[in-house]
A = this chain, B = another copy of it.
Amino acid sequence: MSPPRSRIPVAVVGATGVAGQQFLASLANHPWFEVKRLAASARSAGKKYRDALTESSGAFRWYCAEPLAPALAELAVEDAEQMDASDVRLVFSAVETDAARVLEPRYAHQGAAVVSTASAFRYEPDVPVLIPGVNVDHLGLIEIQRRKRGWKGLITPGPNCTTIGLCITLEPLRQQFGLRRVLMTSMQAVSGAGRSPGVLAMDILDNVVPYIAKEEEKVEKETKKILGRLSGDDIVPHDVKVSCTCTRVPVLEGHTEAVFVELERPASVAEAKAAMRAFGEGLKALGLPSAPERLIHVHEDPYRPQPRLDRDHGDGMVTVVGRLREDTALGDTALKYVLVSHNTKMGAAKGAILTAEILVQKGLAG
């Protein structure tokens, strides 16, 4: 498909929260999409967006580094419960899981393609958990989803922000060498927890917290699904064994993951690097505005990747890998490496926008 002739009307739901703001920051000058509707809870409904973010103290609760676009600041906020999605083609949903369970099917029923950062539908058999460049073929599920649920629109959630960098680096290894086992320890940024309640400074300064509720289960389950194979009406999960320990560290943005992986077939370090470096060429070729040049950057400097230095590589859309080397313990065909992935860019809003671009390109949005 060639780029759309006029900009496509989209809505952002959960617009006043951090994740919603990240959608607005990323959509501000988007060549294909135009934000027409903003929705949030009833408390903000009826206000101008700018006013909904302004507290009585004068504090302005806009949390992105990018400034708020003046046009968006003037938009009126709607009540997400009341919003009619039938005149937009895409809904970017950044609401909490419970709200997502109710609202997202409603918008999908009204005809919108709902691209979501919530986990509510990730584990439904007819819902793909899409990572651009990794499992676009899973969009074959959409037809089944529509048939089964009677929707004109669709729902495609993105994966957990810890899953995404892992799957992006595993997929080129899977394609060329096969995967047997993955053991991963994450060191996750505080922004992954959002703001309500978020991570308190008291809990994380000079500290590591070795547990993030439900995170490890999500990574393990989503990784198998994403790397799985569409077969008939179902995704057959990949039989790779995945085990992880997810921790929180005093880092603002950028999840770091130390990965040990056993392959099915031997790969030299050079071959593995080459596979990663080539990964994502096809995506760029599609002409999607948010696609990076490549999906993975591989460092030779042993002190990289570092979340502060590497999270913004390719505007936060590139997974940065380093320390790729043989592993001596996991098996005869094992490697280990460290990755950094931007949890609130590729891992959330900007990743979802790239997914939306693919939906448009495939003729699935509107």
Partner-B contacts on A (CB < 8 A): 57-60, 63, 65, 181-183, 185, 187, 190-191, 195, 197-211, 213, 220, 241-243, 245, 247, 249-252, 256, 258, 260, 300-309, 312, 322-323, 327-330, 336, 338
Contact = CB atoms under 8 A, between A and B. Distances in A.
As for how many copies of this chain the complex holds, the number is 4
A277 B172 CA distance: 43
A57 B303 CA distance: 9
Contact of A202 (B191, B210, B241): B191
Nearest to A253: B206
A303 B210 contact: yes
16 contacts: A57-B213, A60-B301, A185-B245, A191-B202, A198-B200, A198-B201, A199-B202, A201-B204, A205-B251, A207-B307, A210-B302, A210-B306, A243-B327, A245-B323, A247-B258, A260-B260
Contacts of A300: 58
B191 A242 contact: no
A207 B308 contact: yes
B305 A210 contact: yes
A309 B247 contact: no
Given A252-B205, A301-B59, A210 B243 contact: no
B247 A207 contact: no
A59 B241 contact: no
Contact of A250 (B185, B250, B260, B323): B250
A65 B309 contact: yes
Contacts of A181: 329-330
Contacts of A203: 201
B210 A328 contact: no
Given A182-B329, A302-B58, A206 B245 contact: no
